[in-house]
């Protein structure tokens, strides 16, 4: 492909328009040509056992050309932007369209889609785009050096990325956009996480943060926090499983609430499935849902606002500000367009939760500790999974720092425990809430280049009677 200079690590709006115009000029046989363009850049640094194991700077372009002419729609993808490659892709798309005429596909009769409302969001940062490989290397070296000075081993990963997308149709050049067109959109994302462990393998500390703006991520401070937690978690003792008062740091709250994030589905609830189904009305043969009912502590409000500058959500069509839980009451559930047409006489879907903000309080973690007679302080949770969809009962492990609290003070480090608990139960047993802060929420599928971060802003929480069911050897 034609190489991009360093300043063009992602394609600009004018470059996307120029590529689309060239493709439109190559089409034969009339009809419509649609060009979808995704360009991305990714810079990363990885280290383990106090040595850098990966430093990369990658970029690519993905172009999908769709031809709609005499045959059915035919499409083909390429990552080449020279004329010869683009013309070959157009010819291939036209051939694929002719093949579609031999395939009979049943189609549902639906009303025309409305114009897609795409919110304006704060998801671009020049600082993220301009972080050089050398700067990332210096930060990694500083974090490793701090751990080495204390005789510990550091591992970590930092990443900065940028992307741009556009979807342009030949049928609407100079005309108002159609529902499925995508105006040019660019974004940046950054993340950094680090783990520090003892050479003996009996202590571990972790810290991480992600967001759209690299300047909000203090990598040296994350390294210092992970080191501090590692030193404090040496020589942990075994604690019997049971129900404990628990102080969950913000990262642990987000790890636990992830179970709820993926289960906000209205259609399932109206079919008697999932945690939001209530009871079945035998006369009407309908399942009533928990919409409008209190489901968690009245201090908890969960919102999703694509315009929230601190979240930095990459927008998708029909994404709108949503209050999912309002002062403990379930107020909204997600649904697809097919469901909206069939059940709600509505032509648009209700997008699920991509990022969110949870309300907090004013109690610091130190204050939570000082008011705890006996309990546990948790850094984060891992391997969280759902055991029972109806109650959202889940299980997982504490990781990278667990401490016993006795008489208002941290008394000793504790070996990790497996929990078996529902986040809904925990959010109904809240004693205290801390301030809401951004946490580490990485790309869920690192091999999907355009995959977004799933940002969250959550508080620390002190809860009663949190259930631990077994000890684990992992640190």
User: Averaged over 299-319, what is the pLDDT?
Assistant: 85
Percent of the chain with pLDDT over 70: 90
How far apart CA 123 and CA 311 sit, in angstroms, is 8
User: Which of 394, 455, 381 lies closest to 421, judged by CA?
Assistant: 394
How far apart CA 198 and CA 204 sit, in angstroms, is 7
CB 267 within 8 A of CB 257: no
DSSP letter (8 states) at residue 214: G
In degrees, rounded to 5, the angle at the alpha carbon of residue 379 between the alpha carbons of residues 429 and 366 is 70
How far apart CA 174 and CA 301 sit, in angstroms, is 44
CB 386 within 8 A of CB 379: no
Question: Above 90 in pLDDT, residue 471?
Answer: yes
In this prediction, residue 444 carries a pLDDT of 67
In this prediction, residue 7 carries a pLDDT of 62
Residue 282's SS3 state is: coil
Average pLDDT, the chain: 88
Percent of the chain with pLDDT over 90: 62
Among left, alpha and beta (phi > 0; psi -120 to 50; other), residue 114 is: beta
pLDDT tens, residue by residue, 233-272: 999 999 999 999 999 999 999 999 999 998 999 989 988 8
CB 222 within 8 A of CB 431: no
How far apart CA 70 and CA 102 sit, in angstroms, is 12
In this prediction, residue 445 carries a pLDDT of 63
Tokens representing 414 are 């504790």
User: What is the distance of C-alpha 345 from the center of its chain?
Assistant: 31
Residue 278's SS3 state is: strand
Question: Above 70 in pLDDT, residue 1?
Answer: no
Q: Dihedral angle at the C-alpha atoms of 41, 357, 334, 285, nearest 10 degrees?
A: 160
In this prediction, residue 344 carries a pLDDT of 82
Higher pLDDT, 102 or 77: 77
pLDDT tens, residue by residue, 182-211: 778 888 999 999 999 999 988 999 999 999
User: Averaged over 424-432, what is the pLDDT?
Assistant: 96
- Give the side-chain half-sphere CA count within 13 A for 336: 5
- Give the side-chain half-sphere CA count within 13 A for 440: 22
Question: Above 90 in pLDDT, residue 419?
Answer: yes
DSSP letter (8 states) at residue 277: E
Tokens representing 265 are 């589905």
User: Which residues is 376 bridged to in the sheet?
Assistant: 246, 404
Tokens representing 64 are 């999908």
CB 359 within 8 A of CB 230: no
In this prediction, residue 176 carries a pLDDT of 54
pLDDT band at 232 (very low <50, low <70, confident <90, very high): very high
Question: Above 60 in pLDDT, residue 179?
Answer: no
User: Averaged over 403-418, what is the pLDDT?
Assistant: 96
Question: Above 70 in pLDDT, residue 175?
Answer: no
Question: Above 50 in pLDDT, residue 462?
Answer: yes
How far apart CA 443 and CA 454 sit, in angstroms, is 7
The reported pTM is 0.89
- Quickly count helices (H) and strands (E) in the chain: 10, 21
pLDDT tens, residue by residue, 340-375: 888 888 877 888 888 899 999 999 999 999 999 999
User: Averaged over 66-70, what is the pLDDT?
Assistant: 83
Tokens representing 139 are 């930060």
User: Averaged over 431-451, what is the pLDDT?
Assistant: 80
pLDDT band at 155 (very low <50, low <70, confident <90, very high): very high
Question: Above 50 in pLDDT, residue 399?
Answer: yes
In this prediction, residue 303 carries a pLDDT of 95
Question: Above 90 in pLDDT, residue 157?
Answer: yes
In this prediction, residue 103 carries a pLDDT of 52
pLDDT band at 122 (very low <50, low <70, confident <90, very high): confident
pLDDT band at 473 (very low <50, low <70, confident <90, very high): confident
Burial class (CB in 10 A: 0-12, 13-18, 19+), 199: exposed
CB 463 within 8 A of CB 253: no
Tokens representing 334 are 């997600």
How far apart CA 359 and CA 345 sit, in angstroms, is 33
Domains of the chain in start order, with CATH, are 6-197 (3.30.2290.10), 237-262+292-332+353-475 (no CATH)
């Amino acid at each position: 492909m034609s190489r991009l200079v360093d300043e063009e690590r992602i394609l600009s709006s004018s470059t996307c328009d120029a590529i689309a115009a060239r493709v439109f000029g190559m089409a034969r046989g009339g009809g419509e040509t649609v060009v979808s363009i995704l360009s991305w850049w990714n810079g990363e640094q990885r280290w383990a056992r106090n040595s850098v194991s990966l430093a990369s700077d990658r970029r690519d372009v993905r172009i999908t050309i769709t031809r709609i002419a005499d045959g059915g729609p035919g499409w083909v993808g390429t990552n080449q932007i020279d004329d010869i490659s683009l013309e070959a892709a157009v010819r291939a798309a036209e051939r694929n369209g002719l093949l579609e005429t031999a395939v009979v596909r049943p189609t549902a009769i639906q009303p025309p889609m409305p114009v897609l409302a795409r919110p304006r969001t704060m998801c671009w940062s020049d600082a993220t785009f301009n972080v050089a490989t050398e700067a990332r290397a210096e930060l990694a070296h500083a974090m490793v050096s701090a751990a080495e000075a204390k005789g510990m081993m550091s591992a970590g990963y930092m990443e900065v990325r940028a992307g741009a997308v556009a979807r342009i149709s030949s049928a609407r050049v100079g005309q108002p956009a159609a529902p499925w067109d995508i105006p040019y959109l660019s974004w940046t994302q950054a993340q950094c996480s680090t783990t520090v462990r003892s050479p003996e393998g009996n202590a571990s500390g972790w810290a991480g943060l992600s967001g759209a703006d690299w300047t909000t991520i203090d990598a040296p401070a994350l390294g210092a926090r992970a080191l501090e937690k590692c030193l404090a978690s040496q020589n942990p003792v075994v604690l019997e499983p049971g129900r404990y008062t628990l102080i969950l740091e913000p990262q642990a709250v987000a790890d636990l609430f992830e179970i709820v994030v993926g289960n906000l589905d209205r259609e399932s609830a109206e079919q008697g499935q999932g945690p939001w189904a209530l009871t079945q009305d035998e006369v009407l043969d309908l399942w009533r849902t928990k919409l409008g009912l209190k489901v968690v502590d009245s201090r908890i409000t969960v919102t999703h606002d694509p315009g929230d500058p601190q979240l930095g959500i990459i927008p998708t069509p029909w994404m709108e500000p949503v209050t999912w839980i309002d002062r403990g009451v379930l107020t909204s559930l997600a649904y697809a367009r097919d469901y909206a047409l069939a059940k709600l006489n509505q032509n648009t879907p209700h997008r699920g939760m991509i990022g969110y903000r949870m309300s907090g309080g004013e109690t610091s973690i130190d204050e939570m500790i000082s008011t705890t007679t006996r309990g546990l302080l948790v850094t984060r949770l891992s391997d969280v999974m759902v055991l029972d969809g109806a109650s959202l009962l889940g299980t997982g492990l504490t990781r990278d720092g667990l401490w016993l609290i006795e008489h208002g003070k941290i008394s000793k480090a504790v070996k990790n425990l497996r929990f078996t608990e529902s986040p809904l139960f925990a959010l109904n047993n809240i004693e205290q809430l801390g301030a809401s802060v951004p946490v580490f929420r990485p790309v869920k599928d690192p091999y999907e280049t355009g995959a977004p971060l799933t940002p969250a802003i959550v508080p620390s929480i002190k809860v009663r009677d949190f259930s631990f069911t077994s000890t684990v050897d992992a640190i």
